Amino acid sequence: MTTFFNFIIGFCSFGSVLHAGLAVAALNEPINSMIRVQGCNKFITVSIFFLCLMFLAMGAKNLYENNF
């Protein structure tokens, strides 16, 4: 079960960094481009979602290891 939590934590941290990088890449688009406006917001939102999921998995792993 610990391996499962480690996998989730690794996957979420990778996803978070990846989408943060995509948000930065979207900033290179022209100012009035829809890719810049919508893409940047979407990538930042997904990045924050992955971060929250990662912290939840860390907490769940901690509870699991301490109680079982």
- Alpha-helix residue ranges (DSSP H) falling in 1-68: 2-26, 34, 40-67
**pTM beyond 0.85, yes or no:** no
Please report, for the chain, the start and end positions of each structural domain, with discontinuous segments joined by +.
2-67
- Please give the Cα distance from 53 to 38 (Å, whole number): 23
- Range 11-32 average pLDDT: 86
* pLDDT at position 35 over 90: no
- Range 39-47 average pLDDT: 87
- Please give the Cα distance from 4 to 8 (Å, whole number): 6
* pLDDT at position 68 over 80: no
The whole-number pLDDT of residue 22 equals 86
